[in-house]
Structure 1
Amino acid sequence: MATGLFSIPEGMAYASIGGFNPVAGLYAGIVPPILGSLAAPTVLMVTTLTSAIALTSQAVLSDAGLDPHAAGNVAALTLLVGVIMALMAGLRLGVVMSFVSNAVMTGFSTGIALSIITGVLEDATAYKPPGHNKLLQVWNWIVGIGHWQSAATLVALATIAVWAAARLVRPLAELALLVSMIVVSVGVAIFGVDVETVGDIARIPAGLPPFSAPAWSAMPHLFGGALAVALVALAQAAGVSPSMPNPDGSRSNVNGDFAAQGLANLGGGFFAALPSGGSLSRTGVAAGVGARTRWAGVISGMFLAIVVLVCGSLAEHIPMPVIGGLIMVVGAELIVGKVGDIMLVLRTSRLSALAMVVTFAATTQLPLQQAIVLGAMLSLLLYCVQISRQSELLTLVMDSDGRWRTEEVPAALPPGRVTVVQYGGASFFAELSRLESKLPDVSQARDAVLVLVMRAVPEVPSSALIKQFRRYATRLENAGGRLILAGVRPGMAHVLDRTGVSDQLGAGGVVPADDHVFGAVERAVADAQEWIRTRGDTEQ
């Protein structure tokens, strides 16, 4: 119920910030949460309007030259966002989110939490701080304390104080947000405190969301923008799952969450709702009042529908400073919840820490769609760097008792001997220069054989690795030696055949992998020793 009540002022405020009819933000809290919560694998995720989605949607409609107050244009955008989300889920593009590093996601989630707080600074103090980015707004809000209106500020502080007190009482701890909303709202009404209320934003119609037909002619002009809105919504939702894991321990599914949000927008688009996505703040409210199952989101939408239908005029009396104070609490709790992740990233590596800080700064200073692109690029960079660092070469030497041990790779191949070297890596092009520099020198490798173990290499290697094999095999052959690839899996064997490497290495030059970990290595060593003996007999 608390989540449903929050949807009244928060949804209307976000819609108003984006230049939309505030009632469209209210309706985004009815149909989308019901459909999204029924389908989402992240059971606590509440799918509804967020400030970032509202602002991005407003920019999309403005760029297309369309009126944001026209219900048909809003419906067209919401439906397109739902279609794109559903297509991304169907194409299993949720895997893309797995490439977003923990450092980047931590910076992004923390930045979003700060954005949630800055979005209600005016509601809490009746002072809108200037500034083109969130950090500057917070600074100007603090130094501009003289502009805070006393009535609004005191109501917000009283709300936070009642919340804190309720948290200390065990039976009320999980309902602290709801308790503080009701108690302070009643107190404001009794004492006649003059502050802005929900009703000052817009009147709440006493009726369910009406059917809204989309403006089909607007859709061709909105497709690119709808993609941007969908990416903003999905990126925000991606921060919900790690922040609010399923209470029953079940695993979330990114593609399932994509599909659920797509369904929420497809349904909401026909019932006058603005585009929706997984909301950290609304999910935080639900978790804060004790939500443990997906039915919290369903009930919040149904409860909001009942409130609008039966007593919408009563909800108009909720003071905006109360909402501002409670949303600040939710945002602060989200930031505090990220402290452990922040410290972990800071202690892991300087590069990860830099990526986290840059993503946080981008989220608070750039349009959210640009911050998402930057975060994706940073994640890709981190992935490439980490992959290139993981490659290694180790010499395998058999002890007298028949067990294999590892040693450093020799600087040069000893003539007339078999040297076994294991390569572990992703065959990523960035790592190959390091790999080539570590391979043994072949200038004195007469009658020498290098057995290169390939079991830990991807089954389909990069073309750069194939090129390096051919180059090294040629140098080794010119020096009177030979290269044998051992532990080759079927996919790689097929590539070696198609590229001519198998022909270049000759019979026995490619030894397939088998169920025995060192089976291919031992066969390759035996073949190499036989080759060396044959060479010796020929020379004699």
Structure 2
Amino acid sequence: MKKEHASRRVARQGPSRRRSTGSVRMPFPEWLGNYTTTWLRPDVIAGLTVAAVVIPKALAYATIAGLPVQVGLYTAFVPMLIYALLGTSRVLSVSTTTTIAILVATALDSVASTRDTANLLTASATLTCMVGVTLIVARLLRLGFVANFISEPVLIGFKAGIGIVIVVDQLPKLLGIHFHKGSLLHNLLAIVHEIPQASLVTVAVGAVMIGLLVALERLLPRAPAPLIAVVAGIASVKLFGLPAYGLATVGHVPTGLPPFTPPDLQMVMTLCPPALGIALMSFTETIAAGRAFARSGEPTPQPNRELLATGLANLGGAFFGAMAAGGGTTQTAVNRLSGARSQLSGLITSLAALGTLLFLAPLIGLMPEATLAAVVIVYSVGLIQPVEFREILKVRRTEFIWALVALVGVAVVGTLKGIIVAIIVSLVALAHQMSDPPVYVMGRKRGTNVFRPQSTDNPDDETFPGLLMVSPQGRIFFANATRVGEKLRSFNAAAKPKVVALDLSGVFDFEYTALKMLTEAEKKMREEEGVMLWLVGLNPSVLAMVRRAPLGAALGNDRMFFNLDTAVARYQTDYARG
């Protein structure tokens, strides 16, 4: 009876466990089942604090994308709400980011005019819907690992390029000048040319706002600096009547719930390439922010679940006017520092955005455009981190060059193509590393059995006349076998040894093409040069492969060794007389 009872219990538990690990279906918010009342107060405080930061920035990001400011509120409401219900990160705050906003702007520029608001909103809904569908399909295909395809140096360069593009894009609003926008260089030259026509009132408001934001960030880092700047900007318009002196304001912002905005299927083919790039960047930023702020003891964000949650957040937001969304590092940091304990804080932020839509929209219309530009510039400059470039250069010059290539790619060819440049640079970097693995000539630390690469820092290491000890590292396969062979021949020609001990302890895989080349090299060394090849430190899979190949028969057990120490001992015994 006990066994039967246990089997029934396991049967009841089975489906639930399968859903948590493998099924695409998502259960009712899991965090609610573990929620404790002690979390309520910190979650509410954190949610309201984040709202004070997210809402003004969301308005600013909408202007980056060339969309009406209310789209920022829609994005802080619907995607935030859906992610809070379905996401795996307790503190991740999902609306949009500077990177996504500039990518959206580039995408929309190809299908809609900023003067045709209705068409622009339809294009945005279509793009956001496609981003959501892309992320959901990626989840079905279990492509969460794709986020790892952009290396950190390349991502640093890409974001720095984005930061430069955004700052240059917002400068005209800060100066109160107007011109037809083009490439980055064109915009820079136009700004310089138009500076004499700048509005002094707009410049003054922009300068004050930037000074206020920077001062608050440095002196009162916990204060909602964007909200304070927005309130100050609106107050200045009300008190001093600045529009009469040429200051541009946001203008009419509709009050009420987000309108239903269906996508336009005719735009799908045009928007497909940028949607893929935006989906990749959305997921990359989301999973990076989620992992960065996960504490020990909390659930680690699950990449494939995050794909689905972020995809549904975008898909749901698309039909209610939201632009493409993703997790933001800054707002997530604010959420964590404000004491958030669960996804309830995201729900509170979402409801605050809804309250703003319903009751505060007329006030937002009074906000100076220079204020929004100041918010965008101050927080976009943070994407440009010279310190990170210096750190990369200090560690590795090659990867510093990759970071610069990504930066220049964004600035020169554009943001969407810049993603492709960033991915290509990452893949080329990976291919370069794999095609040229390190191969070391080894020595033994005197008085020990420790073997290490020969170096001028260790001139006292032992070597053994007539014995060349060489250690390649990594996977040896068709793409790098020739290069490894060239290095081995170079070392062999310089040392003129009797025996070459090839230490493969650092090689985790030896592909067929490489094995065939090694077989041919062994035969040539033995028959034409009188040099014996020994293999050392083979792992079980490589050893099994060698034994199944002709090389195993040629070497036999006598020329394969467990480690370099035993190989040296055999050499000293067998070749001491020579």
Asked if 1:436 corresponds to 2:488, the answer is yes
Separation of aligned partners in 2, 1:457 and 1:221: 46
Task: From the superposition, tell whether residues 436 and 255 of structure 1 become closer, same or farther in structure 2 (CA, over 3 Å).
Answer: farther
Residues 413-466 of structure 1: per-residue CA shift (max 9 Å, x gap): 999x76544333443644425423344249987xx54332211012x2244532
Pairwise CA distance, 1:210: 4.2
Pairwise CA distance, 1:391: 1.0
Query: Could you tell me which of 81, 96, 109 is aligned with 1:48?
Result: 96
Aligned pairs for 1:204-283 (under 5 A) are 204-206=254-256, 208-214=257-263, 223-234=272-283, 245-246=292-293, 248=295, 258-279=307-328, 283=330
Pairwise CA distance, 1:60: 6.4
Residues 210-233 of structure 1: per-residue CA shift (max 9 Å, x gap): 445555686577544532332354
Task: From the superposition, tell whether residues 494 and 84 of structure 1 become closer, same or farther in structure 2 (CA, over 3 Å).
Answer: farther
Separation of aligned partners in 2, 1:166 and 1:450: 66
Give ranges in structure 2 of 5+ residues lacking alignment. Answer: 1-50, 456-462
Query: Could you tell me which of 311, 327, 330 is aligned with 2:376?
Result: 327
Task: From the superposition, tell whether residues 62 and 527 of structure 1 become closer, same or farther in structure 2 (CA, over 3 Å).
Answer: farther
**Amino acid in the other structure paired with 1:472:** A
Secondary structure, in 3 states, of the residue corresponding to 1:422?
strand
Match of 2:438 in 1: 391
Secondary structure, in 3 states, of the residue corresponding to 1:174?
coil
Query: Could you tell me which of 157, 175, 179 is aligned with 2:207?
Result: 157
Given that 1:2 and 1:286 are in contact with CA atoms closer than 8 Å, whether structure 2 keeps it comes out as: no
Task: From the superposition, tell whether residues 118 and 248 of structure 1 become closer, same or farther in structure 2 (CA, over 3 Å).
Answer: farther
More displaced 10-residue stretch of structure 1: 143-152 or 285-294? 285-294
Task: From the superposition, tell whether residues 88 and 8 of structure 1 become closer, same or farther in structure 2 (CA, over 3 Å).
Answer: closer
Separation of aligned partners in 2, 1:321 and 1:71: 23
Given that 1:81 and 1:229 are in contact with CA atoms closer than 8 Å, whether structure 2 keeps it comes out as: yes
Separation of aligned partners in 1, 2:123 and 2:382: 36
Aligned pairs for 1:418-433 (under 5 A) are 420-427=469-476, 429-430=479-480, 431-433=483-485
Pairwise CA distance, 1:129: 5.1
Residues 153-188 of structure 1: per-residue CA shift (max 9 Å, x gap): 222222223334545765x85233322221231122
**Amino acid in the other structure paired with 2:102:** A
Separation of aligned partners in 2, 1:326 and 1:127: 18
Task: From the superposition, tell whether residues 167 and 369 of structure 1 become closer, same or farther in structure 2 (CA, over 3 Å).
Answer: closer
Query: Could you tell me which of 182, 190, 209 is aligned with 1:132?
Result: 182
More displaced 10-residue stretch of structure 1: 153-162 or 227-236? 227-236
What RMSD over aligned residues (CA atoms) do the two structures have, in Å?
4.3
Q: How many residues align?
A: 504
**Amino acid in the other structure paired with 2:230:** M
Pairwise CA distance, 1:57: 3.4
Secondary structure, in 3 states, of the residue corresponding to 1:326?
helix
More displaced 10-residue stretch of structure 1: 229-238 or 50-59? 229-238
Query: Could you tell me which of 182, 205, 228 is aligned with 2:231?
Result: 182
Separation of aligned partners in 2, 1:47 and 1:141: 31
Secondary structure, in 3 states, of the residue corresponding to 2:366?
coil
Separation of aligned partners in 2, 1:169 and 1:88: 43
Task: From the superposition, tell whether residues 230 and 452 of structure 1 become closer, same or farther in structure 2 (CA, over 3 Å).
Answer: same
Residues 464-494 of structure 1: per-residue CA shift (max 9 Å, x gap): 5323311221113314554232221133234
**Amino acid in the other structure paired with 2:208:** A
Give ranges in structure 1 of 5+ residues lacking alignment. Answer: 512-518
Match of 1:485 in 2: 535
Q: Identity percentage over the alignment?
A: 21
Secondary structure, in 3 states, of the residue corresponding to 1:203?
coil
Match of 1:403 in 2: 449
Task: From the superposition, tell whether residues 10 and 232 of structure 1 become closer, same or farther in structure 2 (CA, over 3 Å).
Answer: same
Secondary structure, in 3 states, of the residue corresponding to 1:483?
strand
Given that 2:58 and 2:75 are in contact with CA atoms closer than 8 Å, whether structure 1 keeps it comes out as: no
